[in-house]
Structure 1
């Protein structure tokens, strides 16, 4: 049985008063026995308590800041980035949501990275990047004067170095083809990914009207870059086989189901995962679809070609960090 309030009878349920030396502070206690200061002003305190009880972001908190960012900024990004930010923002809300933005300090961000590093160090870096961009926007909106994420070192990441050999790609494709019609399509999509060096999401959305006389025009969802992949004999052969796959006469997409619909990312990942797992059960080493992009870019670098034209990156920093999978970097002598 809950005890009846004997003092401060004018306060609403679950609101309490602390009489400080200079001014009173109204606060509440959550079901987790966590104290949340509401305000020094009773009217403002009542409003914030109502927001908490209704599950709405509290005005003037990082929770409200994140909500604004997720409504105004995140949806303008690539669909996958937006989806990732929705997931990452939940972790930030749990830890920082009730804080005032001006109270967040670099030490808080550092402790967050340290704690998350024990479970998911790489993902913690992505969450920190999101928090940093949120505060960059908060500076623009006039909410804060500085970004507390600046200067806080990220968790150490080990770059992925898996390189798919030509023999491995041929072996996987041969096995995929042996599994049936869907496997044959999968093998050609893997081949297309290597020949073009493009991301899975951009290939799955590739429309037939993007196939031109000059090549394949890719509009990258992540960078918004336009990349024209010019024709080679191998690329023409690959596209011809994909166009010959079962499809309605009026189908719009190069890679599609028998009904002419584009593959959903989750659906394609499932098909890829099943075939890859079966191939690995034969004693082969697993590789990801994204490793095909790295193979293409590495091949470009080895041939002395400009890999950024293929990848769509503005500079070489990301290429060198993520996509260059050469085990040994070779260079000729100066003279």
Structure 2
């Protein structure tokens, strides 16, 4: 039986470690030197999933999330992939040790309630959406027979109750750098989403 993972590595994918001495994340492959992945967790996750030879069997949610991030998330837009990288840190921590066949609707509700108590109810909804998508892929990959998340009621989200006026935009533009002024002018002229504009 292998050694228990250090606390700083417990929420990381298999093969990724954090070296506190160098303040760097590494990929540890059997029989090879550790490969540096980056100083920040976001950079480390992005580099970790770029290694095509990482292919773990999915016995736990940790493995399933790994596979989704390596095979599916990297094909999404950069903004979506970056959002996924942020979300999976929480999913690893709460679901990583579980078997995908044991996940039930009650676990989703417990997660949504827990994250709401932590002060992130809306973020919890986004994280749950990713988890639901991952479980749908688990069905597709033959790991489970059906997704357990039908009809889940998410945390309430308060819609915006005020639109920004032209006068407020004019005042804001006076304090913006030139590139942001041009961006806002283009946004107002086209009405395109941020991802389309970028």
Same fold flag (TM > 0.5): yes
Q: Distance in 1 between matches of 2:90 and 2:70?
A: 17
> RMSD value over aligned CA atoms?
2.4
SS at match of 2:88: helix
Verify the 8 A CA contact 1:109 1:148 in the aligned structure 2: no
- Cα deviation for residue 188 of structure 1 reads 2.5
Describe the shift of the 1:102–1:175 C-alpha distance in structure 2 as closer, same or farther (beyond 3 A).
closer
Considering only CA atoms, is the larger Rg found in Structure 1 or Structure 2?
1
Verify the 8 A CA contact 1:128 1:149 in the aligned structure 2: no
- Cα deviation for residue 191 of structure 1 reads 1.3
- Report matched runs for 1:87-126 at 5 Å: 87-119=86-118, 120-126=120-126
- Cα deviation for residue 172 of structure 1 reads 2.2
Verify the 8 A CA contact 1:125 1:155 in the aligned structure 2: yes
Tell me if 1:69 matches 2:63. Answer: no
- Cα deviation for residue 175 of structure 1 reads 4.3
- Cα deviation for residue 203 of structure 1 reads 2.4
Q: Distance in 2 between matches of 1:201 and 1:30?
A: 39
Q: Distance in 2 between matches of 1:82 and 1:31?
A: 27
Verify the 8 A CA contact 1:132 1:150 in the aligned structure 2: no
Describe the shift of the 1:185–1:100 C-alpha distance in structure 2 as closer, same or farther (beyond 3 A).
closer
Q: Which residue of 1 aligns with 2:180?
A: 186
- Cα deviation for residue 190 of structure 1 reads 0.8
TM-score by length of 1: 0.42
Describe the shift of the 1:174–1:58 C-alpha distance in structure 2 as closer, same or farther (beyond 3 A).
same
- Cα deviation for residue 13 of structure 1 reads 7.1
* Partner deviation per Cα, 1:281-305 (whole Å, 9 max, x = no partner): xxxxxxxxxxxxxxxxxxxxxxxxx
Q: Which residue of 1 aligns with 2:197?
A: 203
SS at match of 1:68: helix
- Cα deviation for residue 173 of structure 1 reads 2.4
Gaps of 5+ in 2: 8-29, 31-53
Superposed structure 1 runs of 4+ greater than 3 Å apart: 29-32, 56-59
Q: Which residue of 1 aligns with 2:27?
A: none
Q: Which residue of 2 aligns with 1:81?
A: 80
